[in-house]
């Protein structure tokens, strides 16, 4: 009985370790991971389990084009352990609606079996009306969302695996600034999805500074023979907080003072612009005075410019002048075309 129970647990562990296609795991790596989890099994027994018992009942594939052989599940296979419940299904459907406008299709595709299971569960619940839920709920991003950049599935798989397993990568990268292809050895340190672009954060070759690489411009990626180097003082949250993705104009926050329309005031009451923010009604007007401590970055300035005539910036003076200069340029072009 004990041996049968151990075999059952080993099979369950193996099912958890084998990825869906295009991911693959080699027999030696699978054997090593089983040993790490305390299972006593040799290579011959593992091969017998994979080719005999598991392949009879599960959609396992084997890439035997080279040794060691590598195993994977059919890309559409998904097993709900434990079974999916209704609240989780509702959450997954909403998450799919939200994420498909932010992440590349190849990334969303990794979760397609889970999303499909959630919709199938809701569609089967005709009597309680939950099957209509997915058609009555949408997630809309704040502002204009660009279509997510396209990624190659193999590139995403390789980069994600390298990041998680702390492995270096040899990549071919299309530089936007110089419009030329370059080859690097990258040491992945983190990944950030911002708006419609996913960035790999990595050190390059023998340098120690963190650089950003747009994933859609990685044209080829392969595991490198070079040893992965950790950036010991790198902290992802600190890196983001430093303004690395906000095009900082200065390190210190700035005091923003602006006059805003009632609709904007109402928006900022529910979703503040900053932690430190005050809204004061202006006398003899339905407008408000906004005061907030905000990052000194292009991101905040773009938001203000996007509000158009609904916001009049008073301070900082250089932001006020830049917004006015932009407005004058637009008017000048209109006059030239007239």
Segment 231-245, tens digit of pLDDT: 888 888 888 777 677
- For position 125, what pLDDT does the model report? 62
Any domain includes 247: no
What DSSP assignment string belongs to 41-98?
--HHHHHHIIIIIIHHHS-EEEE-SSSSPEEEE-TT----SSPPPHHHHHHHHHHHHH
pTM above 0.75, yes or no: no
Number of independent structural domains in the chain: 4
Cα distances (Å, whole numbers) of residue 79 to 12, 23, 111, 263: 11, 16, 12, 48
**Of 34, 51, 73, which residue constitutes the final position of a domain?**
73
Structure tokens of 144?
Answer: 């204009």
Q: What is the residue range of 284's domain?
A: 254-337
Any domain includes 220: yes
C-beta neighbour count of 242 within 10 angstroms = 13
State yes or no: pLDDT of 110 exceeds 80: no
Any domain includes 148: no
What pLDDT band is residue 89 in, cutting at 50, 70 and 90? confident
Any domain includes 229: yes
Any domain includes 147: no
Any domain includes 222: yes
For the chain, the average pLDDT equals: 80
Residues 95 and 41 in one domain: no
Which of 141-155, 172-186, 214-228, 262-276 has the weakest average pLDDT?
141-155
Residues 117 and 170 in one domain: no
Task: Give all strands (DSSP E) within 68-196, no chain letters.
Answer: 70-73, 169-175, 180-194
- For position 303, what pLDDT does the model report? 85
CA atoms of 212 and 202, how far apart (whole Å): 7
Condensed to tens digits (0 to 9), the pLDDT of residues 124-166 reads 665 555 555 556 666 666 666 667 777 787 888 888 888 878 8
What pLDDT band is residue 282 in, cutting at 50, 70 and 90? very high
């Amino acid at each position: 009985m004990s041996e049968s129970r151990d075999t059952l647990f080993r099979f369950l562990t193996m099912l958890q370790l084998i990825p869906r296609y295009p991911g693959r795991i080699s027999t030696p790596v699978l054997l090593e991971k089983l040993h790490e989890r305390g299972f006593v099994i040799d290579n011959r027994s593992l091969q017998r389990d994979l080719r005999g018992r598991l392949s009879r009942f599960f959609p396992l594939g084997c890439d035997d084009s080279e040794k060691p052989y590598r195993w994977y599940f059919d890309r559409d296979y998904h097993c709900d352990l434990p079974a999916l419940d209704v609240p989780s299904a509702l959450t997954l459907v909403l998450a799919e609606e939200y994420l498909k406008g932010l992440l590349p299709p190849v990334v969303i595709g990794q979760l397609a079996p889970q999303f499909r299971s959630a919709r199938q569960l809701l569609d089967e619940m005709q009597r309680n009306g939950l099957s209509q839920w997915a058609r009555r709920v949408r997630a809309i991003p704040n502002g204009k969302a660009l279509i997510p950049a396209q990624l190659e599935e193999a590139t995403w798989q390789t980069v994600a695996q390298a990041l998680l397993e702390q492995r270096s990568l040899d990549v071919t990268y299309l530089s936007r600034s110089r419009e030329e292809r370059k080859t690097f050895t990258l040491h992945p340190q983190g990944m950030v999805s911002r708006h419609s672009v996913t960035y790999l954060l990595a050190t390059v070759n023998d340098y120690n500074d963190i650089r950003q690489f747009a994933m859609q411009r990685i044209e080829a990626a392969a595991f490198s023979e070079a040893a992965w180097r950790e950036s010991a003082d790198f902290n992802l949250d600190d890196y983001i907080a430093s303004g690395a993705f906000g095009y900082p104009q200065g390190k210190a926050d700035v005091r923003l003072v602006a006059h805003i329309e009632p609709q904007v005031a109402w928006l900022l009451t529910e979703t503040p612009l900053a932690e430190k923010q005050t809204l004061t009604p202006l006398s003899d007007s339905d407008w408000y005075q906004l005061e907030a401590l905000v990052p000194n970055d292009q991101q905040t300035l773009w938001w203000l410019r996007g509000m158009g005539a609904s916001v009049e910036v008073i301070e900082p003076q250089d932001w006020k002048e830049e917004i006015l200069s932009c407005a004058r340029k637009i008017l000048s072009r209109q006059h030239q075309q007239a």
